[in-house]
Amino acid sequence: MKLTGVELRRISMPLVAPFRTSFGTQTSRDILLVRVTTDAAEGWGECVAMTDPLYSSEYVDAAADVLRRFLVPAVLAAGPPAAHSVAGILAPFKGHRMAKAALEMAVLDAELRAEGRSFGRELGAVRDRVPCGVSVGIMDGVPELLDAVGGYLAEGYVRIKLKIEPGWDVEPVRAVRERFGDDLLLQVDANTAYTLGDARHLARLDPFDLLLIEQPLDEEDVLGHVELARRIRTPICLDESITSARDAAAAIRLGACQVVNIKPGRVGGYLEARRIHDVCAAHGIPVWCGGMLETGLGRAANVALAALPGFTLPGDTSASGRYYASDVTEPFVLDDGHLVVPTGPGLGLAPVPDRLAEVTTATEWLTG
């Protein structure tokens, strides 16, 4: 397979409703897509970096810059690219995992399309559909929250994740537990909004039998999570702190987490994501697939990943309609609380040209 060029494409997608987290409120998503062309097939990658560096240090303009100046030229210069060699080619460039992940995803998609194999088959999927959870933003009040959760449960979502922050934690959790009952699979995500000084407060979540609390402390505060784990009963799940399989192994060994959220963008790609799955499985640590408000492209790959055997908890692999009234691909639609794992070559789906054109704000073509 010969790589003939790389397109960087920026798209702008309005969200169906504002999404508020402890780091801010998003009303639309500015996404960088990567399309690689080869002599055999084209491939699509999606960069999950946000417009602003609020979730992590990465942001979309920086991702485009590092791809344009360093990552794409290195891959174009390396000769016939095999998806499994991309991470090694990019290793001299520090960080920028979301940018690297998007490029590796595009090369992997092209390779799999050329060979007629799906992401699911390549990654090791063992299920043909995956159960889906939904991430529910911080609301103006408890009545609005109960309406939103009720709506998602009516749609079929099998697990609810509440975004929390200081001042919006125990009361919303109590209200959702009381309204929807003890059988509801319920978890919370703080996106680093607390400190170890909040341990006694966070212990007040213990009576509500949450599946987990996700990333309560700073991303670099692994030892803080070890200490917090001794002071609360709710299992700790790390998201932002885990950027590689090596990190995951260390966090598990230290006792910093009992569960891991795997996001391929955060860790540099789907192949590293699979290694994290393997490390966690070897330690008996359950994992689930996170979400970064992906279009159907990233969503397709996430659903394939979530079909691996160690993904024993429902993920944030929601339907397209959770975020977008109109997706760039055919939308993912919930069927009895599940999404079907695509089986076609590569991602198993591609952008609908008219839809893609409607949301595109800029394109840039790179050749060797």
Query: Any contact of residue 136 with ligand NPQ (CB under 6 A)?
Result: no
Q: Which residue's CB is nearer to Mg ion, number 124 or number 286?
A: 286
Query: Any contact of residue 294 with Mg ion (CB under 5 A)?
Result: no
Confirm whether 2 is a catalytic residue.
Answer: no
260 binds, among ligand NPQ, Mg ion, none (CB under 5 to 8 A by kind): none
> Beta-carbon neighbour count of residue 282 at 10 Å?
11
135 binds, among ligand NPQ, Mg ion, none (CB under 5 to 8 A by kind): ligand NPQ
* HSE-CB for 208 with a 13 A CA cutoff: 26
Query: Any contact of residue 221 with ligand NPQ (CB under 6 A)?
Result: no
CA dihedral (71, 73, 77, 78) in degrees, to 10, reads 10
> Among 316, 324, 329, 359, which residue sits at the site for ligand NPQ (rule: CB under 6 A)?
316
Query: Any contact of residue 290 with ligand NPQ (CB under 6 A)?
Result: yes
Q: Where are the alpha helices (DSSP H) in 232-351?
A: 245-254, 270-282, 296-305
Q: Which residue's CB is nearer to ligand NPQ, number 210 or number 292?
A: 292
Query: Any contact of residue 189 with Mg ion (CB under 5 A)?
Result: yes
* HSE-CB for 307 with a 13 A CA cutoff: 25
Confirm whether 263 is a catalytic residue.
Answer: yes
- Per-residue DSSP letters for 134-173? EEE---SSHHHHHHHHHHHHHHT-SEEEEE-BTTBSHHHH
Contact in structure between 307 and 279 (CB atoms under 8 Å): no
> Among 42, 104, 221, 239, which residue sits at the site for Mg ion (rule: CB under 5 A)?
239
Residues numbered 40-99 forming contacts with ligand NPQ, rule: CB under 6 A: 50, 55
Q: Which residue's CB is nearer to ligand NPQ, number 21 or number 38?
A: 21
What residues are paired with 46 via a beta bridge? 33
Q: Give the CA diameter of the chain.
A: 60
Q: Which residue's CB is nearer to ligand NPQ, number 3 or number 237?
A: 237
Residues numbered 4-43 forming contacts with ligand NPQ, rule: CB under 6 A: 19, 21, 26, 29
Q: Which residue's CB is nearer to ligand NPQ, number 290 or number 314?
A: 290
> Among 191, 234, 243, 329, which residue sits at the site for ligand NPQ (rule: CB under 6 A)?
191
Instruction: With CA atoms as reference, report the closest residue to 49 among 263, 242, 238, 265.
Output: 265
Say how far residue 361 (Cα) sits from the centre of its chain: 23
> Beta-carbon neighbour count of residue 160 at 10 Å?
22
Give the C-alpha separation, 181 to 332, whole Å: 28
Applying CB under 5 A, the residues found at the interface with Mg ion are: 189, 214, 239
Catalytic machinery residues: 163, 263
Applying CB under 6 A, the residues found at the interface with ligand NPQ are: 19, 21, 26, 29, 50, 55, 135, 189, 191, 239, 290-293, 316
